[in-house]
């Protein structure tokens, strides 16, 4: 089974470290620690540090993001890169948590970690998907769902407008030009797929990768791309974004990839699971039109990037299937690694035979 986080151990070992970082002279307590999600690509704990200050009790809600020590979804997990991206965006009009400290000494928690401020707000659920009849999106009115969606798209447009050079984000890898940036992405996800795949045949992903290589577009923009752009990676309060989270897939490239990933993940969380979309969430066409109005650019290659999104998530699902099997967890089907919503969507987009069908 997947080993749970040792929250008591984290609290115990963080206490003296935080006391030194915060310059607390007296006792410091780490309380109310919890794991906020069941994600398998990272280890996260939310907690409160409290201490006495001349008779007054001070409290600070914080988040610890730890380098995962097992069940890796990615072959390399660059925690420092995530920290640097969010730290670089501090003070911009992209809402991100305040980054506090980055620690590489394994004697503290056994692995590298960073601490950031906790932000107010709630994230739409990935499990169960936010279109399911439960949770914050289901409880919202259609007007509130639309407000959440549009504010998320507005924040995405702000990400793409960031002056990434001025913000010191060149460490993400400055491409020679927008076309070269796409080549870098294709090479990365090709390598990821070869790492993630098992002996199981992957006809749709193999054909999809070949199509992506043969039909690469000629993008004209290079922008900061969030990489994992979706409602579930945002915190909302009163249906407005309070924080943009999870920058592990950030890159410099064509921002249409972010828009397509957002649209694909929404499809995955509704049709992909056989769940009707909740009323109020805008359509694909309305979303593209609003994004074009916000950015002053034309979306020219959405079909390509939707296929790219399906391939990327399909490769990730191949890895997730391996992790689930190794952990003794049941998969939805014996051929889940090659037959899942991502591969079925990729087959639909490219006119390929759907997996599981003769």
Domain for residue 244, yes or no?
Answer: yes
Q: What confidence tier does 35 reach under pLDDT thresholds 50, 70, 90?
A: confident
Q: Are residues 110 and 147 in the same domain?
A: no
Q: What is the pLDDT of residue 143?
A: 98
Q: Does residue 36 carry a pLDDT above 90? A: no
Q: Are residues 94 and 145 in the same domain?
A: no
Domain for residue 129, yes or no?
Answer: no
In this structure, what token pair is assigned to residue 117?
């401020």
Q: How many domains does the chain have?
A: 2
Q: Are residues 306 and 171 in the same domain?
A: yes
Q: List, for residues 275-333, the tens digit of each pLDDT value.
A: 999 999 999 999 999 999 999 999 999 999 999 999 999 999 999 999 888 888 898 89
Domain for residue 179, yes or no?
Answer: yes
Q: Quote the domain boundaries for residue 217.
A: 136-350
Q: Are residues 243 and 345 in the same domain?
A: yes
Average pLDDT along the chain: 93
Q: List, for residues 308-324, the tens digit of each pLDDT value.
A: 999 999 999 999 999 88
Q: Are residues 250 and 151 in the same domain?
A: yes
Q: What confidence tier does 55 reach under pLDDT thresholds 50, 70, 90?
A: confident
Q: Are residues 109 and 170 in the same domain?
A: no
* Residue 262 to residue 305: CA distance in whole angstroms: 11
Q: What is the pLDDT of residue 39?
A: 53
Domain for residue 357, yes or no?
Answer: no
* Residue 281 to residue 144: CA distance in whole angstroms: 9
pLDDT > 90: percent of the chain: 85
Q: Which residue has the higher pLDDT, 328 or 228?
A: 228
Q: List, for residues 5-24, the tens digit of each pLDDT value.
A: 789 999 999 999 999 999 99
Q: Are the C-beta atoms of 116 and 100 separated by less than 8 Å?
A: yes
Q: What is the pLDDT of residue 199?
A: 79
How would you class 1 by CB atoms within 10 Å of its CB: exposed for 0-12, middle for 13-18, buried for 19 or more? exposed
Q: Are residues 166 and 204 in the same domain?
A: yes
Which residues touch 137 (CB under 8 Å, ≥6 apart)? 124, 125, 130, 131, 145, 148, 278
Q: What is the pLDDT of residue 358?
A: 46
Q: Are residues 96 and 204 in the same domain?
A: no
Q: Are residues 191 and 225 in the same domain?
A: yes
- CATH number, domain containing residue 269: 3.90.1200.10
pTM: 0.94
Q: What is the pLDDT of residue 54?
A: 83
Domain boundary among the residues 117, 147, 180 is at 117
Q: Taking residues 110-126, what's their average pLDDT?
A: 95
Domain for residue 62, yes or no?
Answer: yes
Domain for residue 126, yes or no?
Answer: no
Q: Are residues 210 and 61 in the same domain?
A: no
């Amino acid at each position: 089974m997947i080993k749970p986080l040792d929250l008591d151990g984290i609290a115990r070992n963080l206490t003296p470290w935080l006391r030194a970082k915060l310059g607390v002279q007296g006792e410091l307590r780490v309380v109310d620690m919890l794991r906020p999600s069941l994600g398998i690509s990272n280890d996260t704990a939310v907690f409160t540090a409290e201490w006495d200050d001349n008779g007054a009790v001070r409290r600070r809600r914080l988040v610890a993001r730890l380098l995962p020590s097992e069940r890796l979804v990615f072959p390399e997990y660059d925690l420092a890169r995530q920290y640097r991206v969010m730290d670089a965006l501090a003070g911009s009009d992209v809402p991100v948590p305040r980054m506090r400290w980055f620690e590489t000494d394994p004697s503290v928690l056994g692995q590298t970690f960073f601490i950031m401020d906790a932000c107010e707000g709630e994230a739409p659920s990935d499990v169960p998907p936010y279109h399911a009849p439960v949770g914050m999106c289901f409880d919202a009115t259609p007007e509130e769902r639309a407000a959440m969606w549009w504010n998320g798209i507005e924040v995405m447009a702000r990400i793409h407008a960031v002056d990434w050079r001025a913000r010191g984000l060149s460490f993400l890898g400055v491409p020679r030009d927008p076309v070269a940036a796409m080549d870098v992405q294709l090479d990365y996800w090709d390598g990821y797929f070869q790492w993630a795949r098992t002996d199981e045949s992957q006809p749709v992903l193999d054909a999809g990768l070949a199509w992506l290589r043969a039909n690469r577009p000629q993008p004209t923009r290079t922008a900061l791309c969030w990489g994992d752009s979706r409602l579930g990676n945002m915190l909302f309060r009163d249906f407005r974004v309070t924080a943009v989270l999870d920058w592990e897939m950030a890159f410099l490239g064509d921002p249409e990839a972010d828009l397509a990933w957002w649209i694909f993940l929404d499809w995955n969380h509704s049709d992909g699971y056989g769940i009707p979309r909740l009323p109020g969430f805008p359509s694909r066409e309305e979303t593209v039109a609003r994004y074009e109005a916000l950015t002053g650019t034309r979306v020219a290659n959405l079909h390509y990037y939707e296929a790219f999104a399906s391939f990327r998530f399909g490769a990730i699902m191949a890895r997730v299937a391996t992790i689930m099997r190794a952990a003794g967890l049941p998969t939805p089907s014996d051929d889940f690694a090659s037959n899942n919503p991502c591969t079925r969507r990729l087959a639909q987009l490219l006119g390929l035979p759907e997996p599981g069908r003769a």
